[in-house]
Amino acid sequence: MQELKIKGVYKHYKGDLYLVEDIIFNSETGEKMVAYRALYGDNKLWCRPYNMFFDEVNKNRTKVQI
């Protein structure tokens, strides 16, 4: 698994850029999450489970990073 860099910019496989804001935790489960902000449009703040942040997806039978 890659090392996550706080304030690092990551490129989604579809081409959009996101800024990792911080590591956060779900208040009910304690699950570790990544808070990241879209660097386009209205700059929404999103979160995703930490273990899923670097998941690979199959796009046209080729694995690419999210």
Mean pLDDT, residues 34-45 taken together: 97
- Spell out the domain ranges in the chain: 9-65
pLDDT at 3: 84
Residue 65 scores a pLDDT above 80: no
Burial (CB < 10 A; 0-12, 13-18, 19+), residue 22, is exposed
Mean pLDDT, residues 5-29 taken together: 94
pLDDT at 36: 96
**Higher local confidence (pLDDT), 29 or 14:** 29
> Whole-angstrom Cα distance, residue 24 to residue 45?
12
Q: What is the pTM of this model?
A: 0.78
Q: Is 12 helix (H, G, I), strand (E, B) or coil?
A: coil
The answer to whether 4 and 23 have CB atoms below 8 angstroms apart is: yes
CATH class of the domain comprising 9-65: mainly beta
Count of alpha carbons within 13 Å of 42, Cβ hemisphere only?
A: 3
pLDDT in tens, 23-39: 999 999 999 999 999 99
